[in-house]
Amino acid sequence: MKRELWHSLSAGGLVLGTLFFAASLSPTLLPRTFLTQGLLSGCSLAAGYGIGVFGVWLWDYMELARLNGRFLRAAYLVATTSCAIVAVVSLSQAARWQNSIRELMELEPVDTAHPLAVSLIALAVFAMLIALARFFRLTLRFVTTRAKRFLPARVSNVVGVIATVALFWLVINGLLFRAFLRVAEASFREYDALIEVETEPPLAPLKTGSRTSLLAWDKLGRAGREFITSGPTREDISVLSGRAALSPARVYVGLRSADTPEERAKLALEELKRVGGFERSVLIVVTPTGTGWVDPAAIDSVEYLHGGDVASVAVQYSYLASWLYLLTDPGYGADVARALFKEIYGYWIALPKDSRPRLYLHGISLGARNSEQSSDLIEVLRDPFDGALWSGPPYTSRLWRRLTDRRNPGSPVWLPRFRDGSFVRFMNQHGEAAEPSGPNAAWGPIRIVYLQYASDPATFFDYRSLYREPEWMLPPRGPDVSPQVHWYPVITLFQLMLDMFMATDAPIGFGHVYAPAHYIEAWKEVTDVRDWSAEEITRLKQHLSKPRHRVVQRREG
């Protein structure tokens, strides 16, 4: 039986599949475990096998000449031997390739990539995918045979392919994936509703969720309660800065607080007025990630920089993780972001210019994308908001994509320069891109900063890597991208898809996990902080980088 199964496999498919397997061991943006490497290699082996089988079929269909007899056997022997050598060499180099990433990310090197475990997992995944493909072929034959009773042979073949593909798509996407989304959303919803035993409603009347608040504590959601109760106090800020400070004002509206985006936005506005948010010097409209999470590294840092004289407001729009929406509905949540901005901006613009706070936008990951879409820059030109800090913008972000594609010639895609830098600037771990007019180039009326890492797959994922080399691989490369990374058709796309799923497992300061120190530099630029010395900034970075502040981002990117 095993011999029959082996002989039923295509030799040409196995040759190409082995090459795909070897290529999948090469590095991309993030380090992998032996489990994730095995899954990736198994999918790559199956993809290469499928393409090889199709190539053999196409060759026969076109009735091209084929080798026979001893020449065919010799050709297969040379091909399989060469591919086996390539696979073995690649397995032996896998640890070195992974260490080339780990070294850049300041991680401990690995002694082995566990080649045996990787191979076994890959073969198991390959077997399952081949079984699924053969089931597809059996279904196709069944449908085609039935269709031939009523239709000509060629027509029935076309009908069979269309019907089988539609059936499998309906089952996989319409039933299995949708069922997965429903289960995932129900699970996230229940998790969001859990009230931690150690988290009590705030006693201070000006805190959201208190007895005098317009918003009920139990309806803020888990992420909302975390946002309200975390962050520095007035005493924390004062002790570190040595200056008088205020208690930061934070407002959060959970998904359960009201039925529609417009109602939640109005609640946010009224609560913000109640807590005195418009009496602060800085007001930040925050668009959270898919689960409603707000990155504490971003908000804590700006509150310290401005002595607590900061108000921030956020509205939840979903329960699911951001990466699920990026794969299914990238535009989800933009309507909530627009509703919130409309309410806040509408009230803010009616205030006297000399007594209203400076207005900024912020978002990370899917929140950055939705925050981009919350306002139309044309509509606010008459009285613009003051700026925005968008970190880890996903590859679907339209404004980010337009600015990046139109960057100044010679600037890399991972740290672009856009014109004279008076409107938008890009920053990474090492600061902002050098502008043609120098580091002291004047800002315009709006300051927009994108904080992004070259190793962030949520930002630099590209479907076109299926058939062409992505721009971030071109020299010069980002400081956190391994020189061992190479482009391979199909394989690079698979690798980036896995990287995007693992984006928040990266060490802080790499991938999709943004560090407080880098937020500090970005907020300094966006909000024009000038009253902190270099020594004070260093002390703040050290303080926010302590383990108790290093809150690793959940899988939401």
Helix H or strand E encompassing 364: strand 358-364
Beta-carbon contacts of 403 under 8 Å, excluding residues fewer than 6 positions away, are 416, 418, 424, 450
Q: Which residues pair with 510 in a beta bridge?
A: 513
Chain segment 464-506, per-residue pLDDT in tens: 999 999 999 999 999 999 999 999 999 999 999 999 989 989 9
What is the residue-level pLDDT of the chain in tens, covering all 557 positions? 444 444 567 778 888 999 999 999 999 999 999 999 999 999 999 999 999 888 887 877 777 767 676 776 777 788 778 888 988 999 999 999 999 999 999 999 999 999 999 999 999 999 999 988 888 888 878 878 877 777 777 777 777 778 877 777 777 666 666 666 666 666 656 655 655 655 778 888 889 999 999 999 988 988 899 899 888 999 999 999 999 999 999 999 998 899 899 999 999 999 999 999 999 999 999 999 888 899 999 999 999 999 999 999 999 988 666 666 655 555 568 899 999 999 999 999 999 999 999 999 999 999 999 999 999 888 888 899 999 999 999 998 999 999 999 999 999 999 999 999 999 999 999 888 765 555 557 899 999 999 999 999 999 999 999 999 999 999 999 999 999 999 999 999 999 999 998 998 999 999 999 999 999 999 999 999 999 999 999 999 999 987 654 444 443 44
Q: Residue 190: what pLDDT?
A: 60
Q: How far apart are CA 168 and CA 147, in angstroms?
A: 18
Q: Residue 57: what pLDDT?
A: 79
Which two tokens mark 553? 């981002």
Please, are residues 433 and 426 in contact by the beta-carbon 8 Å criterion?
yes
Give the DSSP letter string of 133-172: HHHHHHHHHHHHHHHTTTS-HHHHHHHHHHHHHHHHHIII
Q: How far apart are CA 365 and CA 372, in angstroms?
A: 11
Q: How many Cα neighbours within 13 Å face the side chain of 59?
A: 11
Q: Is 8 strand, coil or helix? A: coil
Q: How far apart are CA 175 and CA 492, in angstroms?
A: 29
- Per this entry, what is the length of the chain? 557
Please, are residues 467 and 416 in contact by the beta-carbon 8 Å criterion?
no
Q: Residue 73: what pLDDT?
A: 74
Q: Is 447 strand, coil or helix? A: strand
Which two tokens mark 485? 């990374």
Q: How many Cα neighbours within 13 Å face the side chain of 398?
A: 10
Q: How far apart are CA 219 and CA 384, in angstroms?
A: 33
Considering only CA atoms, which of 345, 340, 347, 350 is closest in space to residue 371?
A: 340
Q: Residue 194: what pLDDT?
A: 57
Residue with tokens 């790559």: 44
Q: Which amino acid is it at 428?
A: N
